[in-house]
Amino acid sequence: MKQWCIFFLLALAVGTNGDGFCEEPKGNYPKSVCFNSNCTTAIKNHIKFEFHAAFKYLYMGALFGQYIVERPGMAKFFLESATEERSHAIQMMDYLNLRGIKYGRNYAFGNDLLWKLSNQQITKAELKTLSIASALQEALEMEIDVTKKINEIVEKCSDDFHAADVFTNPILEEQHTGMRKIQGAIQMMDELKRGHPNNEGLYFAEYIFDQKMLKGEV
């Protein structure tokens, strides 16, 4: 197994309209539909966290997909989640473009992307200890954190009705739907494990859960 190398550097520059878009109105572009810089800065800062979530899910999906772990349902779930997070980042960049806001950011991601905080290669023994319940818990905590951050954006964008609207629905709406799904999954895994306090039957419970995940029944 090769050492996982998680270091992504994204250099993004989207949009050609400068921040002067509103200071130098073209034609009759009214001041009242200009953006609020507190709001747009909050959006720009947030995009990094969407990429962070995408990369972390990618990493988690890769771990569950290894033959030692062999949980194809969880691998599928996390890889799909990674795609969804990446699409959130794109959605936000599209939003900035729509409003004519210059977006230029450099992102560096380090080891904090890893699920188990470590810069070491994850060992075969550690792979064996990965539990579905702890992975779901990790995912839920990350989503709660992202939801808090999006609430802060809505607050900072309260004077910009359009931004506040977009970040409330669909974006905040999707956060709550996603969190509800993970909470339900945690509950289902918990029930499957019941009656096996000493890990007896745990692998079988995880196998059943994973198959349900694979078939889209969770």
Contact residue for Fe ion among 44, 76, 88, 156 (CB under 5 A): 88
Q: Under the criterion CB under 6 A, does residue 38 sit at the interface with ligand NAG?
A: yes
State the burial class of residue 8 (Cβ atoms within 10 Å of its Cβ: 0-12, 13-18, 19+).
Answer: middle
- Report what 85 binds from ligand NAG, Fe ion, none; CB cut-off 5-8 Å by kind: Fe ion
Q: Which is nearer to ligand NAG, 17 or 66 (CB)?
A: 17
Q: Which residue is listed with tokens 């969190």?
A: 179
Beta-bridge partner residues of 89: none
CB of 146 to Fe ion, least distance (A): 6
Closest residue by Cα to residue 72 from 58, 56, 83, 61: 61
Closest distance of CB 106 from Fe ion, Å: 21
Where in the chain does DSSP place strands (E)?
Answer: 8-14, 103-109
The CA distances from residue 140 to 121, 136, 151, in Å, are: 25, 6, 16
* Of 30-38, 140-148, 171-179, 185-193: span binding ligand NAG (CB under 6 A): 30-38
* Torsion sign, CA atoms 183, 110, 149, 13: negative
Phi and psi angles of residue 47, each rounded to the nearest 5 degrees, phi first: -55, -35
| Long-range pairs, 61-65, Cβ under 8 A, ≥24 | 62/4, 63/115, 63/122, 63/127, 63/130, 64/130, 64/135
From 4, 6, 15, 36, residue interacting with ligand NAG (rule: CB under 6 A): 36
- What gap in Å lies between CA 183 and CA 185, rounded to an integer? 5
Of 37, 121, 183, 199, the residue at the interface with ligand NAG (CB under 6 A) is 37
Closest separation in Å from C-beta 28 to ligand NAG:
22
Total site size for ligand NAG, rule CB under 6 A: 3
* Min separation Cβ 92 and Fe ion, Å: 9
State the residue number with the nearest CB to ligand NAG. Answer: 38
Q: Is 143 in the site for Fe ion (CB under 5 A)?
A: no
For residue 111, state whether it binds ligand NAG (rule: CB under 6 A).
no
Could you say which residues in the range 18-57 bind Fe ion, by CB under 5 A? 50
Q: Residues interacting with ligand NAG, by CB under 6 A?
A: 36-38
